[in-house]
Structure 1
Amino acid sequence: MPDSKAIGSLELYKRLLRYLRAYWRVFLASLLAMVVAAATEPAFARLMKPLIDGGFVQKDSAAMIWTPLAIVGLFVLRGVTSYINEYSTSYLSGHLVQRLREEMFGKLMQLPVRYFDDHPSGRLLSRIAFDVNQVTEAGFNIITVVVKDGITVLGLLGLLLYTDWQLTLICLAVLPLVTLIVRVVGKRLRGLSHQNQHNMALLTQVLGETIDCQRVVKIYGGQAYEAERFQRAAESIRHNGVKQSSMSSLNTGVTQLVISMALALILYFATARAQHGSFTAGDFMSFLTAMLMLFAPVKRITSISQALQRGLAAAESVFGFLDEAPEADLGTKRLAETRGALSFRHVSFRYPHAERDAIADLSLDVKPGETVALVGSSGSGKTTLVSLIPRFYDPDAGSISLDGVPLTDIEQASLRSHIALVSQDVVLFNDSVAANIAYGRIGQVSREEIVAAARAANALDFIEAMPEGFDTLIGENGVRLSGGQRQRLAIARALLKNAPILILDEATSALDTQSERLVQAALERLMQNRTTIVIAHRLSTIENADRIAVMDQGRIIEVGDHRTLLAAKGRYAQLHAIQFHDHSAHASVLGADTARE
C-alpha cells in the first residue's frame, strides 16, 4: 500500500491488545471459555477407552451407564463455554471496531489540507468503512482459532503421547513442514490483501465520483465510460479474490496431503501393534478418535492464514493512517477578541511538485475593518493567499500576523474562531435549514438568532415558503436549493458566527442577476465592521472596496481603490476594460434580439 508505513505483525498485535485493556475481564472470560471448550475434545477422545474396553469388551454395566452420561455432560459444558466465547468475542470486536473508527474519524479531522490534496477520498472512505472491519479478523477471530484450536491440538497430542508416544512422533515430524508451507503462503496472501485494499479504494472512488457528478455524467453521455471504469475496478477485486482463494486453497490442500500421509503411517503401525496385543481395542479407538479429531483443528489453524494476512494488512492500513502527522499546531496564545489587522511579510508558498511558487515574496497590510479585494487572472494565487489566513496551509517563507501576533503563535482553534468563510462552492450538510445555519455557532445559538441571521441574509422568504420551514431537509449539499439559496444560507451561517475577519471567495460569480442582487445585499450587511478579504472575477462587485490588490503569478502588482487603479491604466484597467467590453457586447446582442422580437 503506497501510503502506509510498514508495521511488523507483532507490533500490530501489541497495538490491538492495548484497546482491550478496558475490557480485560471480558477478554479473560472469553479466554477461559475457549480453554474449557477446547479441553472437552481430548476428554471426549479419552472417554472412548472406558466406553470400548468397559462397555463392549468387559461388559461392565457401570461403564455402559456413566460413560454416555459423561459424554452428554461434556457436550453441555462445551455448548455453554462456546456460547460465552462467541458472545464475549462479538462484544469485544464490536467495541474494537467502534473505537478504531472513532479514532480514525478524529484523526481525519486533524489532518492537514495537504493530506486531502494528496489522497483520494475513496481511499479514506475505504479505510474507515472497510479496513476497520477486517482488523477484527486479525484480532478476535484469529485469537479464537489459535487459542481454542491450539489448546485442542495440544490436548489431543498429549493424549496421543500418553497412549503411544512412538506413533505420536510421526505426527510431530510433519509440523516443521506444515509451518514452512504456512509461512510461504502467508507472505503471498498479505501482498494480495494490500492490493485488494487499493482496488477497493478505487472502486469506492469511482462510485463516489459517479454519484457526486451524476448530472455531468448524464449531460455528457459518460455512462459507458463510467461503467467501464467501475467494471475495471470490480474486475480487479474479483481477480484478486480468486488469487487469494487459490492460494488459501493450495495452502490447505498441500497441508492436508502432508497430514494425511502421516495419518496413513500412524494407522498402519497402530494396526500392527493391535495385532500383537500391545494395544487394547479401547486404546486403539481412543488413539484413532484423537487422531481424527486432531485433523479438524489443524486444518482450521492452517486455513486461517488468508484471514490473518488480510486482517494484518488492514491493521497496517488503519494504524498507518492513525500514525499520520496531524496539522502542526504549536501556537499557545488564545485570542479572546481581535481587531482584524492582517499583515503579510515577504510570504512565499509553493504546492508540492509545482513548477513555480503560487505566492512569491508577497507583502500586504490589511487594516482593521478594511475591505480588500483580490483580483487577477485564474492561477494568480488569490485563493492560495486567503487559504494561508486560517492556516489551511503554512507559508514556506515569510510570516503572516494578526494584530501583530504571528499566526503560528496562535492556537489554530482560536485563530479560526475569528474567521468566517463564504465561497463559490458552498458546502451544506444533509440536514435541516436551521441546522445548517446554526453550524456557524454549534450548540450556542437560539432559534430566534437563527431566524435573525436568515432575515439578514435575505433568506427568510424562501425558507418560510418551504414545506417545513426551518426544519426542512435540504438534501446532500443542498441539492434541493438553488444556487442563490445555498449562497444565502452560507451567508446566514457566517452572519451567525459574527467573526471579525471575513473571507469571500467568488461568493457571487455563479449566480444570475436577481440572485446576485439579493446575495450582494446580504454580503454588504455581512461585511459591515469586519476585516474583509474579497476574491472576485466580476469587478463590478468590488468597486466600493477600500482597496483593490491586483495579483499576477503570485505577486501583487497593483494596489489602490477603483478610481485610482482605473486612472493608472495598468493591469486592473485592462481587466476592467475587457469585462466592460464583454458586458456591453452582451447587452447589445440582447437589445438586438429584443428589437427583432
Structure 2
Amino acid sequence: MSDPHAINSFGLYKRLFGYLKQYWRLFALSLLALAVAAATEPAFARLMKPLVDGGFVERDPERMIWTPVAIVGLFLLRGLTSFINDYSTTWLAGHLVMRLREEMFSKLLRLPVSYYDDNASGRVLSRIAYDVNQVTEAGFNIITVTVKDGITILGLLALLFYTDWQLTLICLTMIPVVGISIRYVGRRLRALSRQNQATMGQMTQVLGESIDCQRVVKVYGGAPYELRRFMAAANQLRQNGVKQAATSSSNTGITQLIVSVALAVIIYFASLRASHNQFTAGDFMSFLTAMIMLFAPVKRITSINQSLQKGLAAAESVFGFLDEASEHDPGTRELKQPRGKLDFNQVGFCYPKAEREALSAIDLHIAPGETVALVGSSGSGKTTLVNLLPRFYDPSAGQILLDDVPLAELRLANLRSHIAMVSQDVTLFNDSVAANIAYGCFEQVNREQIIEAARAANALDFIEAMPQGFDTLIGENGVRLSGGQRQRLAIARALLKNAPVLILDEATSALDTQSERLVQAALERLMENRTTIVIAHRLSTIENADRIVVMQQGRIVEVGAHAELLALDGVYATLHRLQFKEPQHG
C-alpha cells in the first residue's frame, strides 16, 4: 500500500491542477476577476487622500463630487468581479470533486479482492464521501484567499511604501515571526487532520455495520455496545475539532497581537510626523485606512492554514487511494466460446500472513459439461479453490487452464464473462427485478429473454404476483423477498448470462423443503451442458454429481462417484455417516 505521507504539498497541488487543464480559460478568468476585486481595496484606501485633503481641508467642490462617485464605481466593479470569481470557482470546484469521485469509484471497482480483505469498508466510504470534499479546501478556497488577499496585501503595502516607506518598514518586522508561527501550526494541523480522517472512517464503519446487521443488534441486545463504539469515534472527532480550533485560534491570536503592536507603533510615529507638517491629513487617513485594511487579509491568510492543512491531508488520502494498485491484469488473449474444460495443475495458494497454505498441490481435470462436487469440512479449501477461477486471487504455485489456455493469459473481463456464480449469500441490488436478473447486460437483452430466464428459474409466478411485476423494486439486497425467491433470481441471472462455467456455492443450504425443490429443479436446468463446480455441505444434494472431490486441509484426498466413495469407506464415507445419523427435518 502506498504511503500517503510521502506526497509533498507541491506534488499535491500539481496533481490537483492537472484536473483543471481543460478548464484553464475559466480558471484564468476566475483569477483575473479575483485580481481586479483585490486591487479595489488599495484603490479605495488611496481615494481617502483626495477625499480628505480635497473635500474637507481644501473644500474643492470638484473633488467633493467625483471622489464619492469613484467610490461607488469601485464597489460596483468589486461586486461584479467577486460574483464572476465566486461563480467560476464554485463551478470548477464542483467539477473537480465530481472528477475525483468518478476516478475513485472507478478505482474502487478495479481494486483486487485482497484490498477489501485488508481495509475497512467505512474508511473507503469516508474517503469518497468526506475526504474528497475537503480537497476543494486545498484547491479553490485556498487559492481564492491566497491570491485575493495576497494581491490586496501587496497593493496596500505598495501604497504604504509610496505614502511613507520608513513607517512601512515597521510593518515588515512582523513577517518572520508570523512565518515561524504558521510553519509550526501547519504541521500540527495536518497531523490532526489525518487523525480526523481515520476516525471518520471508523465512525462510518460502525454506522454501516449497525445498519447492515440491525437484526443481529436487536436480537442480541447489541445496541449499548454499538452506541459506545459510535460515541467513542464521535468523541474522538469532537476532541480533534477542538484541538484544531485551539491550534488555529492561538495562531490567529499571536498574529493579531504582532500586527496590533506594529499598528500602534506606526500610528504613534505617523502622529509625530503629522504634528511637524510632514504628513497631510489625507496622507494620514490614506495610510491609516491601508493599515486597517491590511489587518483583515493578513488575519485571513494566517487563519487559512487550518483549511490548507485539512485539505492537503484529505488530498493525501484521496491520491493515496487513487495510487493503490488495481487488479493485476497481464492477460492479452481472449476466448470466444470456450467449451469449459478446466485443468488445475499443481495449484497452491497461501493467504498473506497465513501460517499454512490454504491449497497445496491441487491436481484436478474437469471435462467440458462435467459436474464436479467439492466436499470437506470447513477450512478444507473448497471456497478458496473456486475463488481462483475468476481470479479473485492468483495461485501462488502451479496454474489453472481454461480450454488449455492459462487463466493468467486471458484478459480478466473475458475470463469472467465465461463464468457464472450462484452462492448461498445471494447478492442483489436495490433495483427492479428485471435489472437484477439482467445485471451486467441489461442493455444487451430484451424483456422476452429476461422473462424466459425467470421462467426457467421457476421465478415467473412470484415475480408476476408482485405489484409492478418485473419493474418492482426489491429493496436493499432483496430484503422484500424470501430466501428461495432470492436464490431463484440469482439462478435466473446465471441462466441469462449463459456462461459455459458455473460455480454453485451452497446454493440450497438455507432453504426450506418446498423452496429447495423449486431451486433444485431450476439448478438442474441451469447445469445442463455446463461445466459445473458445486460446493455442498449437504451431501444429499450432490449424490448425482459426475465426480465428487473430497478435500482436507487444502489437499484432495479422494475423488470418485458417490457409490465409489462410499464403497471406499474413507473420508467421504465418514462424512456421509456423520451427516445421516442426524435426524432429517422436512
SS at match of 2:399: strand
Amino acid at match of 2:230: F
2-structure distance, mates of 1:79, 1:381:
69
d(CA) in 2 for partners of 1:410, 1:511: 37
Q: After the TM superposition, which residues 286-435 of structure 1 pair with which residues of structure 2 at under 5 Å, given as runs? A: 286-435=286-435
Equivalent residue pairs, number: 586
Deviation at 1:586, TM superposition (A): 4.3
**Superposition deviation, residue 454 in structure 1:** 0.4
- 1:442, 1:192 → 2: CA distance? 46
How far apart, CA to CA, are the structure 2 residues paired with 1:569 and 1:536? 20
Q: 1:119 to 1:483 in 2, by over 3 A?
A: same
- 1:156-192 Cα offsets, whole Å, 9 max, x none, are 0000000000000011111011011011000000000
| 4+ residue segments displaced more than 4 Å | none
Asked if residue 469 in structure 1 is aligned to residue 486 in structure 2, the reply is no
CA distance in 1, matches of 2:440, 2:46: 72
Cα contact 2:131–2:318 (8 A) shared by 1 = yes
Q: 2 CA distance for matches of 1:373 and 1:352?
A: 27
Query: Where do 1:91-490 residues align within 5 Å?
Result: 91-439=91-439, 441-490=441-490
- Residue 27 in 1 paired to residue 30 in 2? no
Q: Within 2, Cα distance between the matches of 1:37 and 1:257?
A: 28
Structure 2 contact 2–324 (Cα < 8 Å) conserved: no
For residue 505 of structure 1, what is the aligned residue in structure 2? 505
CA-CA distance at 1:5 after TM superposition:
4.9
Distance 1:157 1:496 in 2: 73
Matched residues in 2 for 1:47 and 1:366: separation?
90
| 1:522-543 alpha-carbon deviations (Å, 9 max, x no partner) | 0000000000000000000000
Amino acid at match of 1:248: S
Q: What is the aligned-residue identity percentage?
A: 73
Q: Could you give the per-residue CA deviations for residues 248-296 of structure 1, whole angstroms, max 9, x where no partner exists?
A: 1011001111111111111111111111110000000000000000000
2:495 and 2:542 map into 1 onto residues whose CA distance is 20
Helix, strand or coil: the match of 2:559?
Answer: strand
CA distance in 2, matches of 1:403, 1:129: 43
Q: CA deviation at 1:6?
A: 2.1
8 Å Cα contact 2:2-2:323 kept in structure 1: no
Which residue is equivalent to 1:495?
495
- How far does the alpha carbon of each residue in 1:134-176 deviate from its partner, in whole angstroms, 9 at most, with x for none? 0000000000000000000000000000000000001111101
Contact 1:331 1:410 in 2 (8 A): yes
Work out the CA distance in 2 between the residues paired with 1:127 and 1:545: 47
Q: Give the letter aligned to residue 433 of structure 2.
A: V
Q: 1:86 deviation in Å?
A: 0.2
Does 1:574 find its partner at 2:570?
Answer: no
TM-score when normalising by structure 1: 0.97
The separation in 2 between residues aligned to 1:497 and 1:75, in whole angstroms, is 66
1:210 & 1:488 partners in 2: Cα distance? 28
Return the letter of the residue paired with 1:496: L
What are the residue-to-residue correspondences of 1:47-126 with 2, within 5 Å? 47-126=47-126
> How far apart, in 1, do the equivalents of 2:484 and 2:381 lie?
26
Q: What TM-score do the two structures reach when normalised by structure 2?
A: 0.99
Unaligned 5+ segments in structure 1 are 591-597
Question: Alpha-carbon deviations, 1:363-421, whole Å to 9, x = none?
Answer: 11111110000000001110000000000000111111111111000000000000000
| 1:445 counterpart SS class | coil
Cα contact 1:440–1:494 (8 A) shared by 2 = no
SS in 1 for 2:355: coil
Deviation readout 1:350-375 (Å, 9 max, x if unpaired): 11111111111111111111000000
CA offset at residue 512 of structure 1? 1.0
Q: How has the CA–CA distance of structure 1 residues 365 and 5 changed in structure 2, closer, same or farther, with 3 Å as cutoff?
A: farther
Distance change >3 Å, CA 512–CA 5, structure 1 → 2? farther
Match of 1:365, SS?
strand
Counterpart contact for 2:491–2:526, Cα < 8 Å: yes
- Distance in 1 of aligned mates of 2:242 and 2:510: 49
Q: Which amino acid is the alignment partner of residue 373 of structure 2?
A: A
Separation in 1, partners of 2:426, 2:230? 29
Q: CA RMSD in A?
A: 1.0
Distance 1:27 1:4 in 2: 28
Cα distance, 1:247 vs structure 2:
0.5
Aligned-partner Cα distance in 2 for 1:201–1:491: 36
**Greater CA deviation, 282-291 or 261-270?**
261-270
Say which SS state the counterpart of residue 532 (structure 1) adopts: strand
